[in-house]
Amino acid sequence: MKLSFVLATLSNVHSILSLHMMSIMKIAVLCLVVFLALCEVQAKCKCDCPTTSPVCGKDSKTGEKQTFPSPCALICYNCTFNKRFVMIKQGDC
């Protein structure tokens, strides 16, 4: 009787560990997919911007203002994050 109990317990532990490993693998695959999607977005957007002089941009949808290192960086930000910032002046906001 004790041997069958031990075997049943080991079987249950194995099942629990198998489910746990499957969950970890699912999370790892999801992280990989998100990482690859972000890499794809960055590959489509030309973000090799030299730092020049800062510009102030305004989101045409929300009105939010933000300083960007250069006009190129503003364009890159819009492309990468699907935003609608437009340059409103040279220099910081």
Do the Cβ atoms of 46 and 78 come closer than 8 Å? no
**29 versus 83: which is more confidently predicted?**
83
For residues 26, 28, 34, 38, the Cα torsion angle rounded to the nearest 10 degrees is -160
The tens digit of pLDDT for each residue in 36-69 reads 555 554 568 888 888 889 999 999 999 999 999 9
Among residues of the chain, what percentage have pLDDT more than 90?
44
Report the pLDDT averaged over residues 68-92.
95
**Predicted confidence (pLDDT) at residue 80 exceeds the cutoff of 70:** yes
**pTM for this predicted structure:** 0.54
